[in-house]
Amino acid sequence: MSDGALFAGLSAGEVRFGVFVVVFAVLAAFESLRPRRRLTANKNRRWATNFAIIGIDGLVVRAMAMLAVPLAGTAAALYAEANGIGLLQLVTWPAWIKVAIAIAVLDLAIWAQHVATHKVPVLWRLHQVHHADPDIDVTTAIRIHPGEIALSMLWKIVCVMALGASWWAVVLFEIILNAGAMFAHANIRLPLWLDGVLRLVIVTPDMHRVHHSTIQREYDSNYGFNLSVWDRLFRTYCAQPEKGHDAMTIGLEPYQSDEPTRLGWSLFLPFRTGREIPKNR
């Protein structure tokens, strides 16, 4: 990788991290001022565990980069641009059109990946760590098992290379995706009229909260993190939880305890047997 490409990658990482910190802080403050639900688990332990998981995720990604090529969506985009790889490298459309297409297609790819984590048993073992969180707030967005993060990174590289998206389109997408995921998981109360308008385009907290229900038909719906169109298009949209947002139970039925708030338990959940929910449909 050239010095210019490396500088671009580092700058992109700094921008993403900066946006993450700002969005997280704003949503966390909003949660304190206008919470949607009363939290039931020990918040300090939950947050410590969820932040520890994202810290381990970061180490896993760095280890992957040391053992192979720089494994990041930005690095893949830079390589694709330099070598003319990918569908968007074959056309001379205006840059803004290519960026819009890249963001939409990558968002669809992440939606499809999310569906796969619910339908493929081995992927569900990893993904259930995210769903086992007994409460849902902004930190749930970062509660992703390191194994799932590694597979997600590989999937993203494949999609970026096949699409031939520009590196800055990938950076913009990742910023939008991260911000959207935190917003979708936030425990904030929006006016009903605003929620109704926003969810015509993007995933709102009330919309995604349905996905964290213990009821199967509800957690097998609303897979989107950013654009809401995919769930409507593929008929996986569920407007409201059966029991209402205040009475619904968050998490997974077999793990309604304080176990998911513990770091060790969460990391080893994919390797446990006996209480897991089968996903072989």
| pLDDT, tens only, 141-185 | 999 999 999 899 889 989 999 999 998 899 899 999 999 999 999
CB 163 within 8 A of CB 86: yes
Domain edges within the chain? 3-271
How many helical (H) and strand (E) elements, i.e. helices and strands, does the chain have? Answer: 13, 0
- pLDDT(10) > 60: no
**Pairwise CA distance, residues 248 & 185, whole Å:** 15
Q: How buried is 212 (Cβ within 10 angstroms: 0-12 exposed, 13-18 middle, 19+ buried)? A: buried
Mean pLDDT value across residues 178-207: 96
Q: Specify the 3-state DSSP secondary structure of 203.
A: coil
Global pTM reads 0.89
Q: How far apart are CA 181 and CA 214, in angstroms?
A: 20
Q: In this structure, what token pair is assigned to residue 177?
A: 């995706």
Contact by Cβ (8 Å): 140, 210: no
Query: Rounded distance, CA 59 to CA 262, Å?
Result: 19
pLDDT in tens, 30-66: 999 999 999 888 899 999 999 999 999 888 777 665 5
Range from 6-10, 12-16, 40-44, 131-135 carrying the lowest mean pLDDT: 6-10
Spatial CA neighbour of 188 closest among 255, 141, 229? 141
Look at 276 and 48; give whichever has higher pLDDT.
48
Q: What is the pLDDT of residues 94-151, one digit of tens each?
A: 999 999 999 999 999 999 999 999 999 999 999 999 999 999 999 999 999 999 998 9
